[in-house]
Amino acid sequence: MAEATASDWLVDAAEALAVARAVGERVVILATSTGATVATLALADSALREGVAGAILVSPTFGINNPLAPLLTWPGARYWLPLMAGQRRRFAPRNPGQAAEWTTEYPSTAVFPMAALVARARALDPATVPVPALFYYSDADTVVRPDLTDSVLARWGGPATRIAPVLAEGDDPSAHVVAGNIMSPGSTAAAAMAMIAWVEKSIAP
């Protein structure tokens, strides 16, 4: 995780979109968290968004909900910040599924490309993105800043819809992973139905 750069993430996105255009008639992007940040940057590029009929952005990261987050983009932070915060980041898995499937420990330098992507996304004008989008995120998200997502949503260039999921009891207490059988199994079916309904309503056949 520490080897990839912000540019590498964008190259991966470009390759994925090229594959999608090659095998499908129309393309709908479904992206989560920092993946939604990358998707937003791709959609701001007229060449990369060619053939994209719509985008579903789940808990997108337009700001990290941590008062120390600005340090990640300070000059030379990659070199001096790990000395202060530690060389590796780790967290205790919430359940066996997360322990088995998630990366619960990684080099602390892996967060710098993510921070760079978030900074790029915040610097662009979302009004230049004409693609229809569904923003699917919770106001209770404690991992990212929903207020900054509100701002992007309000200025989005294409038709934009907001759905604020109400998570079931026992689902992600951070309200960031708002669907998926590992962290929010009680909300997965509702999320899937809402996204399918949006595609059927908002993207012309």
- Predicted local distance difference test score (pLDDT) of residue 110: 84
Task: Answer whether 0.85 is exceeded by the pTM.
Answer: yes
According to the 3-state scheme, what is the secondary structure of the chain?
CCCCCHHHHHHHHHHHHHHHHHHCCCEEEEEECHHHHHHHHHHCCCCCCCCEEEEEEECCCCCECCCCHHHHHCCCHHHHHHHHHCCEEECCCCCHHHHHHCCCEEEHHHHHHHHHHHHHHHHCCHHHCCCCEEEECCCCCCCECHHHHHHHHHHCCCCEEEECCCCCCCCCCCCCCCCECCCEHHHHHHHHHHHHHHHHHHCCC
Q: Which domains does the chain have, with CATH numbers?
A: 6-70+119-202 (3.40.50.1820)
pLDDT tens string 117-170: 999 999 999 999 999 999 999 999 999 999 999 999 999 999 999 999 999 999
